[in-house]
Structure 1
Amino acid sequence: MARSISDTGSVVRAVRVWPVAGQPAGLPDSLPEPIAAVAVPPAGPSWPEHRTRFAVEVVGDGASGWHAPVSEAVARLVVDTLADGVVGHDAAAPRKLAYRPRASRHHQGAHARQAVSAVELACWDLASRVSGRTVPELLGGTVRAHVPVYASALGLDPAHPEAVKVAAWISEQGFWGQKWPLTKELLRQGPVAVARVLGNLREAAGEGRFMVDGLRRCRLDEALGLLPVLADLRVAFAEELLEPGGVAWARVRAAGAGVPMAAGEHAVDEHEQTRLLTGGAVDVWQTDPGWSGGLARSLHTVEVAADLGMPTFPHGDRLWAALALAGACCRDKVPAVEWHLTLEPLRQRVFTDPGAVEAGMLPSGPGIGLAPTPVITSPLPVWTVGS
């Protein structure tokens, strides 16, 4: 006899929000020597959203699903606009989550989408723990037990004399590739300086894949001047040289030069994702399951990108969700996920069992559950909705 919905154990009975530790100041301990020599202390601890952080718990019958960390602004949106509607939802029926009632008319924008993502990811965690199946299995089946990782060197100074040692070290460690930032100082010096600095890194990287991230800092004239340089460097992709999707972006796209253009991590709303994907604006798709509406939405955009001939490289802010997404996809759809060399060790401190890269690979999940359980810093939740 089929079980009733109340007997599944995956029905959400309550939503709780718990405090977790803020991001510590400075760099992580025990950084490899080449990285430590050129690392720049992260700005994150100066941001309120990183100093005060929380974990979202969806409580089932005998099990809980978790997502962490989220900022106070996102946690309040979860409690004020989503929690009442989530109570009673069966996490084993993910397609129904979007139809649960919300206590707000405002469902778009970065914080609103992060709140939706947090609840959705916590529900996947609950469904996995109750069913005893991994999240990639729940997404349709595990295609890869291990996923290649590319090294993000965004926390490093590319112009530092020792940076070439880092580029060589990354290749030696077996990473899928490496991505370097176009810093404000480097852009100010012009294309000749960019060619010299990145050329040295490219040479040190050997045959490994090489990418750059403009962090949306380029002016139109700077981006146009950089295209020949990036083409000579044979970059696998150039990420967000400037704001994606606008007039300036279109002019850079029209200039061509054979440089694949990447974007998507900041496209948090569905209409913006669809516009970028189908409007010929990008060559490489980047989604973040923690920002874009969750795993189901991210998987949808990965499939659309693949149909349009684009690979997807999930953004690294929600590493465990990105790994689950990649684990359910073949390497042509998701060749690799991002590992931030200086930030990711700090991000992983919120979990009971932090992840670590081995030979340029990570497991597609921690086993049962979407991610390891977060480390809670209080015996009592900050907010509770439901029983």
Structure 2
Amino acid sequence: MNDLNIDNVEIIDCTDLVGPGDDGYLVAVHAAGQIGWYGPVSVAAATALDGSLAASAIGTDVTDHSGLLSALHGASAKSGDAVTSWAIGALDCAVWDAHARIEQRPVAALLSTAARSHVPAYASWLTLDVQLADAETIRRVAGQDWQFTKWSLRRSRGLPVADDAKRMAGVVHQVAEATGSPAAFDALWTWDPTLALGFSEQVDHAKMIWLEEPLATCDSAGYSDIASAFPSLALGERLHLGDDPKELLALPNLGALTIDVVGCGGLTVAAGLVAEAAAANVPVYPHGRSLLPAVHLAAAFPEAIAAVEYQLQWEPHRQLLFTDPLECGGGQVVVPSAPGLGPTPRRR
């Protein structure tokens, strides 16, 4: 047997180390006397992995990332399913961690020979009701030297469309007044085209960096009807393993591709998506749920990836799983210099 073959895949339950409702499972890949890690993942993704998917990785060369992806893709009848795509992505990232640990290099150094040591970061706080928040809270977050900030613009189901469009345009104005600069806004898939077009007529677009994921659908056909109404849209978080991004990248006014590095199928897939986005002149801003591999990806491809998302309300909880959490300050995340992805799990 090849000395670099994967000989075991484990799912480690760390739910007692995180808060209620937080993801708390780690994926551990054993190869060549090293253990590669990724986490946290949800119980659904952990359950999807703990069977034929994990078994299909056994015996695969830990350095053959394309071969592993093919094996995992073939082992699942639901590879385009969101949970399965997350499970495969988590395993792929754990394998990259194992590979880099074997070579005693950071993952970013495997992806590129000229990886940077810090990557720009923007902050999001999507659980905050901006309309009810005091201006000082918004100013405090914006004053922490992030590249920019992002806030939620959820639809209010109790309001007529015209009134809700006016309300959300007011929220954008409120944030701009508090911060003194434009911000990004995430609609969290809660709008329809009518609301989007009504909002576009009401809002001062100069106060917005982008509008992210407004529609419940994630197909390019739905967005083609509203794309011209917005100077900049941010899309791509819902790309999963096997999805073709070409139609999405061809949309007018696509200002950001916000892939989730794990959700799209892992670092192997994400690196390909970054290359396609670069060819289409669309900057990539990786989604914050998979911050650790996103940081390494951003370090490896600085010309294509403008900044990573740091989720203020969730990321500190995720970092509780590690003895050496990511360092972040001044709008920059320090790329771990330790072998692999960097941080060491508290439970191994």
Match of residue 383 from structure 1: none
Match of residue 239 from structure 1: 212
Structure 1: distance between partners of 2:6 and 2:39? 18
* 1:76-91 equivalences in 2 (<5 Å): 76-91=47-62
Q: 1:289 aligns with which of 261, 267, 278?
A: 261
Structure 2: distance between partners of 1:252 and 1:357? 36
- Deviation readout 1:334-385 (Å, 9 max, x if unpaired): 1111011111111211222222421111112352111413233xx8xxxxxx
Match of residue 172 from structure 1: 143
2:79–2:242: 8 Å Cα contact kept in structure 1?
no
Match of residue 8 from structure 2: 14
Q: 2:307 aligns with which of 317, 328, 336?
A: 336
Q: 1:321 aligns with which of 285, 288, 293?
A: 293
More deviation in 57-66 or 183-192? 183-192
TM-score norm. by structure 1 comes to 0.82
- After TM superposition, give the deviation of residue 270 of structure 1 in Å: 2.4
- Deviation readout 1:136-195 (Å, 9 max, x if unpaired): 110122432101110102021101241x22332233211000111113349934233223
Q: 1:223 aligns with which of 196, 221, 226?
A: 196
Match of residue 262 from structure 1: 234
In the alignment of these two chains, the number of paired residues is: 342
Q: 1:59 to 1:159 in 2, by over 3 A?
A: same
TM-score norm. by structure 2 comes to 0.90
Match of residue 30 from structure 2: 59
Match of residue 190 from structure 1: 164
More deviation in 300-309 or 134-143? 134-143
Structure 2: distance between partners of 1:170 and 1:129? 36
Unaligned runs of at least 5 residues, structure 2: none
Q: 1:306 to 1:234 in 2, by over 3 A?
A: farther
Structure 2: distance between partners of 1:302 and 1:113? 17
Unaligned runs of at least 5 residues, structure 1: 26-44, 380-387
- After TM superposition, give the deviation of residue 98 of structure 1 in Å: 2.1
Q: 1:229 to 1:136 in 2, by over 3 A?
A: farther
1:120–1:295: 8 Å Cα contact kept in structure 2?
yes
Amino acid at match of 2:111: L
Match of residue 180 from structure 2: 206
Q: 1:311 aligns with which of 283, 286, 303?
A: 283
Q: 1:139 aligns with which of 111, 114, 117?
A: 111
Q: 1:232 to 1:278 in 2, by over 3 A?
A: closer
Amino acid at match of 2:292: W
Match of residue 35 from structure 1: none
- After TM superposition, give the deviation of residue 271 of structure 1 in Å: 2.6
Structure 2: distance between partners of 1:228 and 1:215? 20
Amino acid at match of 1:139: L
More deviation in 312-321 or 237-246? 237-246
Structure 1: distance between partners of 2:124 and 2:157? 18
1:187–1:218: 8 Å Cα contact kept in structure 2?
no
More deviation in 15-24 or 181-190? 181-190
Q: 1:275 to 1:195 in 2, by over 3 A?
A: closer
Structure 1: distance between partners of 2:79 and 2:195? 36
More deviation in 113-122 or 280-289? 280-289
Structure 2: distance between partners of 1:6 and 1:128? 17
Match of residue 19 from structure 2: 24
Match of residue 329 from structure 2: 358
Structure 2: distance between partners of 1:185 and 1:135? 42
Match of 1:100, SS?
helix
Structure 2: distance between partners of 1:79 and 1:316? 25
Q: Percent identity?
A: 28
Match of residue 64 from structure 2: 93
